[in-house]
């Protein structure tokens, strides 16, 4: 039988601001263009530091942009966002719709600030109305965005999602597993979804991860389980969630 190779859909430039990134990955460019890209990356790096310097400890929430308000995961993310804010944390998301909107909305419900680190994409990604205006801005580069997701995170909460969510969550697990960053609590919300999406037992049996790597995360089903497990993790590791002097 002939090998069936899928044909990717044609590229959709979408917003014109993405065109320079396509050129960047197309190969060597004039030195002036490469210098401009380097300056642009540095400016995003600095802008993130300046904007987020006084926000205090954060909890980063990942999840699909495609879940709508009627979905149970949207309601759960909204409840979790409110709980995080009430405990004194700043909710940080990708600033888009779906799970991100729900978590920001939960903080908005209790009159707490929240962060939205948006990025310009051909589809899906646009700022949701519940992010605190002064804490909402768009990135051009995924690497800078993901860096700022982690810099102030005291915990990461991963709701079901697609490729973007997988990219963000598993990069974090890779950094923890390789001891590049200090351990951080990672909660997968929706055990049935995540067990079907990623068979960790199979990866362990194949020897491509170590048995202890399965202890880098755990599953939760409710907002209360999310927070009780995060608090228990920090108590066990002796790492305070709220660090004095880090707030605004």
Q: For CA atoms 172, 175, 179, 180, give the dihedral sign.
A: negative
Count CB neighbours of 205 within 10 A: 11
pLDDT of 140 reads: 82
67, 103 Cβ separation under 8 angstroms: no
189, 158 Cβ separation under 8 angstroms: yes
The kind and range of the H/E element at 41 are: helix 31-52
pLDDT of 107 reads: 97
Angstrom distances, CA of residue 24 to CA of 28, 29, 33, 69, 143: 8, 7, 9, 37, 14
117, 144 Cβ separation under 8 angstroms: no
pTM, full prediction: 0.86
87, 60 Cβ separation under 8 angstroms: no
Tens-digit pLDDT profile for the chain (248 aa)?
566 777 666 655 544 445 556 767 777 888 888 888 889 889 888 888 888 888 888 999 999 999 999 999 999 999 999 999 998 899 999 999 999 999 999 999 999 999 999 987 766 567 899 999 999 888 888 888 999 999 889 999 999 999 999 999 999 999 999 999 999 999 999 999 999 999 999 999 999 999 999 999 999 999 999 989 998 998 888 776 664 434 43
Angle at 10 between CA 193 and CA 68, to 5 degrees: 35
């Amino acid at each position: 039988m002939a090998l069936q190779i899928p044909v990717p859909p044609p590229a959709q430039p979408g917003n014109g601001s993405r065109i320079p990134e396509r050129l960047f990955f197309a190969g060597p460019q004039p030195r002036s263009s490469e210098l401009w890209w380097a300056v642009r990356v540095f400016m995003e790096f600095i802008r993130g530091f300046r904007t987020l310097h006084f926000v205090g400890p954060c909890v980063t929430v990942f999840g699909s942009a495609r879940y709508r308000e009627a979905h149970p995961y949207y309601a759960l993310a909204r409840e979790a966002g409110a709980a995080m804010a009430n405990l004194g944390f700043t909710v940080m998301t990708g600033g888009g719709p779906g799970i991100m909107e729900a978590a920001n909305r939960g903080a908005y419900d209790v009159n707490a600030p929240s962060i939205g680190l948006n990025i310009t994409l051909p589809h899906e990604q646009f700022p949701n109305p519940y992010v605190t205006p002064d804490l909402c801005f768009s990135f051009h580069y995924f690497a800078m965005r993901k860096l700022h997701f982690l810099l102030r995170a005291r915990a990461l909460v991963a709701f079901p999602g697609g490729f973007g969510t997988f990219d963000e969550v598993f990069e974090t697990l890779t950094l923890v597993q390789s001891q590049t960053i200090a351990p951080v609590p990672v909660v997968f919300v929706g055990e049935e979804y995540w067990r079907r999406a990623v068979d960790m037992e199979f990866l362990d049996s194949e020897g491509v991860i170590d048995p202890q790597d399965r202890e880098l995360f755990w599953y939760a089903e409710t907002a209360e389980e999310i927070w009780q497990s995060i608090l228990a993790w920090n108590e066990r590791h002796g790492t305070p969630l709220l660090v004095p002097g880090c707030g605004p």
